[in-house]
Amino acid sequence: MGVDYYSVLKLGKGASDDDLKKAYRKLAMKWHPDKNPTNKKAAEAKFKEVAEAYEVSSCLFFFLWFFLFTVGKVCYAIDLPIVEETLKQSNDMCC
């Protein structure tokens, strides 16, 4: 099973976009390699993990991909035409 990006950001599954952004900024500042000169390698790895978690969690397309193929074993229950229409409407929301 894949990484739980919400736990990386220390958030619950129902977090809002604002919660995602705040958590990302807080953790990015904490783990920025320039802020951790004594342990740059570990800080850089954690910083990249936090950045990936934010990117996947904040982008609807990546979120749906993550949910359908990494977390969800319920993909048979999702109405695919609705998902496709949502993705078409949300092109501006995605990275």
Which among 43, 53, 46 is positioned nearest to 7, based on CA atoms?
Answer: 53
For residue 16, name the pLDDT band (cuts at 50, 70, 90): confident
For residue 3, name the pLDDT band (cuts at 50, 70, 90): confident
For residue 70, name the pLDDT band (cuts at 50, 70, 90): low
Identity of residue 13: K
Count how many domains the chain has: 1
Could you report how far apart the first and last alpha carbons of the chain are, in Å?
Answer: 24
CA atoms within 13 A on the CB side of 24: 20
Model pLDDT, residue 56: 79
For residue 6, name the pLDDT band (cuts at 50, 70, 90): confident
Which CATH number fits the domain that encloses residue 53? Answer: 1.10.287.110
Query: What domain range is 19 assigned to?
Result: 5-93
Both structure tokens of 45: 């790895």
